[in-house]
A and B are shown apart, each in its own frame.
Chain A
């Protein structure tokens, strides 16, 4: 029964054209990035390795599908929230806009199940979008560029063996899923409060932008607030591409994001259970 509810919600999600904006954006952007990397990716490698090439003879294919996957994840993960809130902001408020809230609530299904099914189907949408991103970047990138060692240019220059890369990507995407679930949870909460989808979409994005600005400002008096901003923990996926992996930092970020996700879901649930549906 509950599974069917989720399927219905997924059907409703994928019936709306705005759901496909994320897929279209990734589907259009990635071939452009892949083409650019195909022709100019070696410049990036040369730039990253310039410190070493004077003293070392270097061989090997560092421009490969793994590097492409890493660069794309790094570049796009900041923008994926924009695509996710398009769906998250519409899930509840869309019912109000369409005038189907009351009809939904009078069915012999509890409000708890209705909201949870909507929430979980939204989470599944995020999973599908991220899987599509992974396929288009790592999958297509590996077909075009092949596989090999992964060059990561962060606090050090890391070169990971090909056999040491896949698990890092898997955990990074799981972490990215957690980050995006928090963003989704926020838009879902706003969506359960109002009756128009535009408000939750704009409000979520505005809040994320404010948090990101607060995180980035090098002002000492604001430093105390940074650990409490969930946006400060969203880049935790990058920690998997270090050696050794800082598991305590990842655990802390995962707990903050997880607590936000659960908290936002619970607040949405309480609001929906107490909501006086008039539309």
Chain B
């Protein structure tokens, strides 16, 4: 029912009537750009800001190999959001969907195509995803998604050298976190501290990741991913 309403809303909006670009084609181009990256290794500095959690800034190394092999390595403690972990469009859109071109919009200094993604089946973990795809480099600039289990999240990506490195230099992820997943004792304390969050079912969180020292297409061995895949 929710899906039908969303589709109806999209078609009724003015933007939908001005659709003159092929959303599937844009996604395909973006996928082709990402498919050019067979594997990569990158050092990350991760900052987590959540009201019920105090975590130090951590350093970790992320390994990725197509199509979906991932390994997170760190000398100490590190935590990384599972959503949008590898920036793989294929991984993010791993369900049958309908894509709708909405409009052009500026994200920072970049021109982007705004595309809305609606899953075709009720079983998909995502309810609605909006992509902001860089019109010049065909790379993701921003993602906003509403999921069934993990609430809403938004990822904004910046690129240091998008002409040569099609992977981001920073990612800023904001998300909602279901308060019911937090132990009651901690939830009560947080609600005491923050009166405006009282009686709400979710609280906000933010993760900022800085990526450095990309090593792309160096042929990472499969063995590397055996344990942590």
Chain A positions near chain B (C-beta within 8 angstroms): 51-52, 54-62, 148-149, 155-162, 164, 243
Contact = CB atoms under 8 A, between A and B. Distances in A.
Contacts of B181: 51, 54
B76 A149 contact: yes
Nearest to A163: B56
Nearest to A158: B54
Contacts of B17: none
A156 B54 contact: yes
B79 A164 contact: no
B82 A57 contact: yes
Contacts of B183: 51
A51 B179 CA distance: 9
Contacts of A148: 76-77
Nearest to A52: B79
Interface string B184-205: 0110011000000000000000
Contact of B76 (A52, A56, A161): A161
A258 to B, nearest CB: 29
A51 B79 CA distance: 13
Interface residues of B, number: 33
Interface in B133-186: 149-150, 175, 177, 181-183, 185-186
B56 A164 contact: yes
Contacts of B83: 55
Q: Indicate the member of A56, A157, A162 with the most B CB atoms within 10 Å.
A: A56
B77 A62 contact: yes
Given A51-B182, A54-B149, A59-B72, A157 B54 contact: yes
A56 B207 CA distance: 11
A157 B79 contact: no
B73 A59 contact: yes
Interface string B57-89: 010100000000010111011111111010000
B74 A60 contact: yes
B116 to A, nearest CB: 23
Given A56-B81, A57-B85, A157 B56 contact: no
Q: Which of B60, B79, B228 has the most CB of A within 10 A?
A: B79
A32 B189 CA distance: 33
Nearest to B193: A155
A159 to B, nearest CB: 5
B44 to A, nearest CB: 12
Nearest to A55: B150
A59 B60 contact: yes
B55 interface: yes
B225 interface: no
A164 B58 CA distance: 14
Contact of B77 (A54, A159, A243): A159
Contact of B150 (A54, A58, A164): A54
